[in-house]
Structure 1
Amino acid sequence: MDSLNYFHDSCITGLTYSSSTYVDETDLSMVMGTNPVVKLIIQRQADSLTTLEFCLEGVTHLCIIHNDLNMSSEIQEANLCYKNGNFH
């Protein structure tokens, strides 16, 4: 996190979610996915590591709060921590 300056002056430029759940075409049954994946693309105002792509597997919660389009959307600071076998 130090080398990324805690994502200061960064922004999320892309985000996709795949539940890995699908409908089987032969019998139209729902096949429940067990490996949801979030792909997150972040760009930084920096000389190095300007674009970062994260592929997060096994995501159980995702919360992004930014609903005021009249405000700037850059990230001021973010943290990732590893606790009890999970990233938060």
Structure 2
Amino acid sequence: MIPHRAGSTRRLLVIAGTVVALAAVTLGRYAAQTVRPDCVVGVSRLTDGSGRTLPDSDARVWSDTELADRAYRLAVDSGRCDPPRARWRQWLG
């Protein structure tokens, strides 16, 4: 039988406490992240014959992500979509 030492129990408690604290911090950070609620937005773009996106009237070429983000912001501004919020708020409904 292995002799029981008070130091090993204390060390085990410190390790367990550290793991629990790290898990709580990780969950807290995950829950606090800002996320978009489900919302469907339409995006369109004009391309040339090779499939390259044509610039807009200001000579800017928008990426697909930028177009989707812009469409979402416009939908939020018009009241068709809910604004982004903390993930934990979505868990509550």
TM-score greater than 0.5 by the shorter chain: no
Larger radius of gyration: 2
Alignment TM-score, normalising by the size of structure 2: 0.22
Alignment TM-score, normalising by the size of structure 1: 0.23
Higher-RCO chain (CA-CA 8 Å, sequence separation at least 6) = 2
